[in-house]
Amino acid sequence: MMNIDISSLEAAINGKTEIEALAILADTFPGKVVFSSSLGYEDQVITDFILKNKLDIEIFSLDTGRLFNETYMTLQKTNNRYDAKLKVYYPQTDSVEALMSTKGPLSFYESVENRKECCYIRKVEPLNRALKDAKIWITGIRAEQSGNRHDMPQLEWDEAHQLVKFHPIMRWTFEEVKNYVKSNGIPYNPLHDKGFVSIGCAPCTRAIQEGEDFRAGRWWWEDESKKECGLHAK
């Protein structure tokens, strides 16, 4: 059951800059605001907001065990740049061992159900642990990333996790994100320079071609309507 007045929060952050809004949320819910980073362009912008301004927001990342080496490099460079230590969550060892032993390393190509099972084990369950005591979940979601996200509000109640989600750069364009990263010298995943827009697990991510949808490089063998991993399910 919702125990946070979203209308009051919306009024408090209305007209504020992204950094000011993040600071208000951090001050309102001390120690209860977290940011999930996949170390992509968008998340590096928000990481810069938080660390440069020393906001009381914990930054964490999910290591699925199937990430690109370039993603690990970006994590290390980010920690070095800001003298920080981003928290990392891993999937439960027993669950990964059971999946690999019974279905093999590439079961996610065989069916949507298998892919969602893999996503649950490697991403959703660790995320649930990361959000366990949080009141506010910050994300790098942008409206233009997919049709599913086009009409998302900037501040919303997440029924599944019983907390409020805030998407500070929801209305930013991809060009605005890139320009901010480049102009501020923020470390970023070099795969972005090779046509990778949305970067997840290596077996499930490819570069996109000019004119393709932002999410076309994720789970490209599936129908567009199924291209969510469960992290942002209602």
Does the pLDDT value for residue 93 go beyond 60? yes
pLDDT at 234: 46
Q: Which residues pair with 166 in a beta bridge?
A: 138, 155
| CB-CB neighbours of 139 under 10 Å | 22
Radius of gyration of the chain (CA): 17
1 lies in a domain? no
Range of the domain at 75: 6-226
223 confidence band (pLDDT: 50, 70, 90): confident
Rounded to 5 degrees, φ, ψ at 196 are -85, 120
The residues carrying an active-site annotation are 229
Does residue 147 lie in a domain region? Answer: yes
CB 38 within 8 A of CB 200: yes
Tokens of 4: 């946070």
pLDDT digits (tens, 9 = 90+) for 116-141: 999 999 999 999 999 999 999 999 99
Average pLDDT, the chain: 92
Please name which of 134, 132, 138, 144 lies closest in space to residue 51, comparing C-alpha atoms.
138
Q: Assess whether pLDDT exceeds 90 at residue 225.
A: no
Is pLDDT above 80 for 228?
no
CATH assignment of the domain containing 83: 3.40.50.620
Evaluate whether residue 117 is within a structural domain: yes
- Mind giving me the DSSP string for 25-78? HHHHSTT-EEEE--SSHHHHHHHHHHHHTT-S-EEEEE--S-B-HHHHHHHHHH
Percent of the chain at pLDDT exceeding 70: 91
pLDDT in the model for residue 209: 86
pLDDT score at 198: 87
- Structural domains counted in the chain: 1
Q: 153 in a domain, yes or no?
A: yes
Q: Is this structure's pTM higher than 0.95?
A: no
d(CA 215, CA 218): 6
Decide if 172 contacts 68 (C-beta within 8 A): no
Does some domain include residue 183?
yes
| Domain membership flag for residue 72 | yes
pLDDT of res. 226: 53
Evaluate whether 25 touches 166 at the Cβ level (below 8 Å): yes
Q: Is residue 79 part of a domain?
A: yes
> Does the pLDDT of residue 210 top 90, yes or no?
no
In a domain, 73, yes or no: yes
Tens of pLDDT, residues 151-160:
778 999 999 9
pLDDT of 20 > 90? The answer is yes
Look at strands 155-158 and 58-62 and give their pairing.
unpaired
Longest Cα separation, the chain: 52
In the sheet that holds 163-166, the strands lie side by side as 87-89, 58-62, 33-36, 136-138, 163-166, 155-158
